[in-house]
Structure 1
Amino acid sequence: MSAVTVLTVTYGDRWPTLRGTLASVLDEPAAHIVVVANGPRPASAAELRSFAAEHSGRVQVVALEENLGSAPAFAAGLAVAYGYGDAVLILDDDNPIPPGLISDLRSVEEATRAKLPAGHPFALEVFRGVNSVHRAIAEGASVDYLFREQRPGAFQGFDLPALLNARLRGRAVTHASNAHRMLTVRAGGGTHTLVEIPNAMWGGLFLPEDVVSRGPLPKTELVLYGDDNDFSTRLGKQGIAIYLCLDLAIEDTLVWKVPQRLPGLRRRLPTTFQLPDSDSWRMQYLHRNQAYLSRVRMEGTKPASRLRFALNVAAKLVLLAGFGVLAGRPGYAAKLIAASTSGLRGKLGPSYPLPG
């Protein structure tokens, strides 16, 4: 079996989880690893250096002195990983892989290539239970509905006309078929179901050699949140399809949970307003980048879509202000509105402080 380069990014004090991920990859004889140390704590950095020295020739470390965000880190790591010329499997640092996953991916890749027209490039996404969209697709929900934020005119995943049409919304979720997006392939002695999706997460994305040769990189100015969606869009613009493999899965060692801190009815507010102030940087990057990507999708669209977009922008910003009042956090809402406005104006880069 030809070699695979596994790329992962770590930061802060995450050596305990990273160690398990690295060990699981090294159990695969045809795999080598590129680790981007994105501003790790001194103890974690020392452990990683020691591990790399112990496995010299199979583990390469790309050291970034401070946390630059996921987009710059994955860009730096991909630039190195592409240099090997092998297929690339991207993992989060808490994604230990089950035995045989890489050989299974290779088998599914070969079977998928035989099903598609000659020369049709594609990437594979491994199923992750932590991803609610992956779970919904497995349960039969419409891909078109689940990725509705990519519809021209939607803003930050919000589309008021569609929400007001409850009948359309229900039909889209429960009855729309994904048959036109599905492939069934036989590989490794079993049958695998693939579903074409427009966006992939970083962790679990597999890029075959013909994709690697094109050298796609994320937009570093996004810093983090939405950079994986933008990378997926860049793949799509190069004619590269992304297929979610429902039958190959990885688990997350760490699952980020939203703290339930608001009392009474305020618990029903959006997740954004149930986060502590210490996490405001997360939501500022998220809202800024979502606004920017929504605006980019509007380029070259028809006047009706632009009008719909303007309506959705106004409605969403008013809702953010209203939720801020209900949560007793108008200042926090103002930060999110300002971040959204920055995204609409294309003001990107490291605008908000990152941990470490």
Structure 2
Amino acid sequence: MKPAPLSPGEVEVVTVTYGERWVLLRQVISAALSEGAGGVTVVDNAAAPGLAGRIAAEFDSRVQLIHHSTNLGSAGGFAAGIRAALTRPASFICLLDDDNVLAAGCLASLLATYTAQGMPAAPARSAVLAFRPEHYVAGSLAQQQRERSSYLGFHVADIGHKLLRHLGRRSAPQSQGGEVRWGPWGGLLFHRAVPESIGLPRADYVLYNDDIEWTLRLTDAGGRIVLDRQAQIVDVDQSGHAAANYPNVFVALLTGSSDMRMYYEFRNRSHLEQQRSGRPGLVMRTNRLLFWLILQAYALALGRPQRLHLLKAARHDGESGRLGTSPAYPLPACNGEAA
């Protein structure tokens, strides 16, 4: 006997906003409610004044607002949002960035995939992930299986195919769906039993790689994350800093975005690497050595010694466990780069 289909009304959407992003946020809320979500939890990370009034004027009580007087970053924001969602009656939680608009049928597709994959039998160890065409979503299990011998995603074995791709002889790898080891916040749907089992996101990560840490926590515990390519999300804000805009990761690290963004991203990735690598083997040590030699060569060629110094300091803080908000890189309260 086929199980009864799950309803989008069983889903609480959680999103985190900051600054002056109402024109984006209202699209996210509208789409979520149009998709039949039972409710929407909006976490106000010190956004521009008037957000509560705007929400009340346009939406009903299905939308709840959690206000923070300071910007807690995506990590603290989603931790607070998930905690608040657990006080609502919904069985499922779907996380969205404040520029992630659900395409028609997205929630229904995620729930259908959840059922088809037999996940109702293991709600505390299961999640599904929507597809975002504008982003390279975490690769397949096969693509991620070398993670423990790579260093910050760099592996000497990848140099050959990346060179061929740069020369135009091979297309970039595309995720074809199936299971993934980790994934972004945007489009992640799971049963409320997941955070009750593995806990909330680490607020001390503040910003960047907090989603990787949390989703790896799930899969490391024996859980599954399945990418649903039929569940589409549209990123309505195209002003992000995608790595695809740069020829390689080294140029991206040295020239991309702001110092604040790079500090948190590199610090948290270094901390995560340190926590997961255990006693590094020969291959990982080789990858680490090559990574820093190549990065230093690029820094010299590009004239970016200050950014190289920042990355080294971020690595030291991450590997030393110095997390939380850095006094040197405070998060803006409004109209700045944050979550």
Same fold (TM over 0.5): yes
Rounded to whole Å, the distance in 1 between the matches of 2:41 and 2:287 is 42
For the aligned residue pairs, the C-alpha RMSD in angstroms reads 3.2
1:144 lines up with 2:142 in the alignment: yes
- Give the Å deviation of 1:250: 0.7
Q: What is the aligned partner in structure 2 of residue 90 from structure 1?
A: 95
| C-alpha displacement of 1:338 | 1.2
The letter of the residue matching 1:248 is: A
Matched positions, count? 313
Q: Which residue of 1 is the match for residue 188 of structure 2?
A: 205
Q: Does 1:226 align with 2:183?
A: no
Written as runs of structure 1 = structure 2, the 5 A alignment for 1:41-52 is: 41-42=48-49, 46-52=50-56
Q: CA deviation at 1:213?
A: 4.5
Pick closer, same or farther for the CA change 1:73–1:155 going to 2, 3 Å: same
Where do 1:135-174 residues align within 5 Å? 143-145=141-143, 147=144, 151-160=147-156, 162-163=157-158, 166=160
Check the 8 A contact 2:137/2:183 in 1, yes or no. Answer: no
Following superposition, the deviation at residue 101 of structure 1 comes to 2.4
Deviation, 1:232, is: 0.5
SS in structure 2 of the partner of residue 251 of structure 1:
strand
Which residue does the alignment assign to 1:185? none
Distance 1:342 1:307 in 2: 24
Letter in 2 for 1:87: F
- Whether the 8 Å contact between 2:106 and 2:230 is mirrored in structure 1 is no
Higher relative contact order structure (alpha carbons within 8 Å, sequence separation ≥ 6): 2
1:249 aligns to 2:232 (yes or no): yes
5+ residue gaps, structure 1: 183-192, 260-265
Alignment counterpart, residue 271 of structure 1, candidates 230, 235, 252: 252
Per the TM alignment, residue 348 of structure 1 is displaced from its structure 2 partner at its CA by 1.3
TM-score by length of 2: 0.81
2:59 maps to 1:55:
yes
- Checking the alignment, whether the CA contact within 8 Å between 2:106 and 2:130 is kept in structure 1 is no
Return 5+ residue gaps in structure 2 as ranges: 1-6, 165-169, 334-339
- TM-score, with length taken from structure 1: 0.78
1:353 aligns with 2:330: yes
Cα 1:62–1:168 change in 2 (3 A) is: closer
Q: Return the offset for 1:284.
A: 1.2
1:20 equivalenced with 2:23 (yes/no)? no
Q: 1:7: which partner in 2? A: 14
2:284 — aligned with what?
309
Q: Which amino acid aligns with 1:119?
A: A
Q: Secondary structure at the match of 1:333?
A: helix
Distance 1:29 1:341 in 2: 46
Aligned to 1:344: 319
Computing the radius of gyration over CA atoms, which structure comes out larger, 1 or 2? 1
Q: How far apart in 1 are the matches of 2:292 and 2:99?
A: 35
Contact 1:287 / 1:340 at 8 angstroms: preserved in 2? Answer: yes
Identity %: 31
